[in-house]
Structure 1
Amino acid sequence: MKNIFSMIKFTLLIVVLFAVIYPLAVYGIAQFAPNQGKGETISVNGKVVGYQKIGQKFDQSNYFWGRPSAVDYNAAGSGGSNKGASNKEYLALVQKRIDTFLIVHPYLKKSEIPAEMVTASGSGLDPNISPEGALIQVKRVAKERKLAEAKVKALVESKINTPTVMGTPIINVLELNVALDQLK
């Protein structure tokens, strides 16, 4: 009987600690983070259009495309495909993505497509692409929007985020597309 009461006390202590105190502590710390821990949002005219750190699906030809997603951009189910580079299903999916990309970008060769444009990231929610991934899409986007290629290319180059110390340059696809919508 003595052990049962000890275990009940211990269970209640753990429940209070991890179901009450810990969540309140995390919530309190989040209040000091940007946007009070609700994520870094991107707004247009006061309306939130997305989150800076979560990729979104852009498949219309008048927008820049981001990386494909193994989870269809579902942030609740973040994850990769877990299929290896020798898996026949995976290889067929990548080939389908390559074929689709080449149909929409007939001016490209297969060797010119950056790998990130046809392979999903580990989380399936990568919001960024390389400058090369954006620059190869300039011709298509400019044609669809009836804009000068030079103007669209300049926009892409203005959105390149270069790391301060180490890393590779990236472009946030949502930020780029929001800026694209604001081009006249």
Structure 2
Amino acid sequence: MNITTRSTGRITWVAIRAMLLLTVALGVGYTVVMTGIGQLALPAQSNGSLVKNEEGKVVGSALLGQSFSDAKGKPLPQYFQPRPSAAGSGYDGAASSGSNLGPENPDLVKAIRERKAAVAAFDGVSEAQVPADAVTASGSGLDPHISPAYAAIQVRRVAEARGLTTAQVEVLVAQNTIGRDLGYLGEPVVNVLQLNLALDRLGR
């Protein structure tokens, strides 16, 4: 009985020491090492890919979408608009999600129909010209990008609102278009926040 008790106590103490050692090594040491490597190798990405304006103020992240609307939620014509978001009240990082509605869900079909009409009217194009990403949310609800096709139908509206030529705005769109990864993976996209900041830097 005493031998069994001593054996159990010894095993328990070994287990406790192993747990403490692994907690320190993996829970603290590994975290510190990986954080250090991240800060040295990729400091901008490690800190959230934060985007700053000309005054050095953080205005968002290159990885997270955000709305460009007035206090009443109406889209601002002088800015390129992002795709819809189903994350919380919109682009809420703490509530990242899609709508989880199937393609034949009547609520989704109705929402897409209404969004398409609204986008077409806002940008002065036909509904047939409105691309899919203009009326559907991404799986995360936080996508910071739009397709070049969606950017293209917004060029004229933004140019008119800012007193610019369409050629000037098209140049900015091209400069803020990200090509396919490795040249062949995915599709080209436009980062909305960085494009709108480029517009603001023109001072109009």
For normalisation by structure 2, the TM-score amounts to: 0.78
Q: Distance in 2 between matches of 1:130 and 1:94?
A: 17
Unaligned runs of 5+ in 1: none
Q: CA deviation at 1:120?
A: 0.8
Report matched runs for 1:12-161 at 5 Å: 12-31=20-39, 32-35=41-44, 37-45=46-54, 46-58=56-68, 59-71=75-87, 72-105=90-123, 107-161=124-178
Residue by residue over 1:131-171, the C-alpha shift from the partner in whole angstroms, topping out at 9 and shown as x without a partner, is 11101001211222222223222322332222352132221
AA partner of residue 151 (structure 1): Q
AA partner of residue 98 (structure 1): K
> Highest CA radius of gyration, 1 or 2?
2
The two structures, once aligned, show a CA RMSD in angstroms of: 2.2
Aligned residues: 183
| Structure-1 residue corresponding to 2:72 | none
> Identity of paired residues, percent?
40
Q: CA deviation at 1:127?
A: 1.1
Q: Which has the higher contact order (CA 8 A, sep 6+)?
A: 1
AA partner of residue 147 (structure 1): L
Q: Distance in 1 between matches of 2:15 and 2:109?
A: 53
For normalisation by structure 1, the TM-score amounts to: 0.85
| Structure-2 residue corresponding to 1:170 | 189
Q: Distance in 2 between matches of 1:22 and 1:70?
A: 35
Unaligned runs of 5+ in 2: 1-7, 69-74
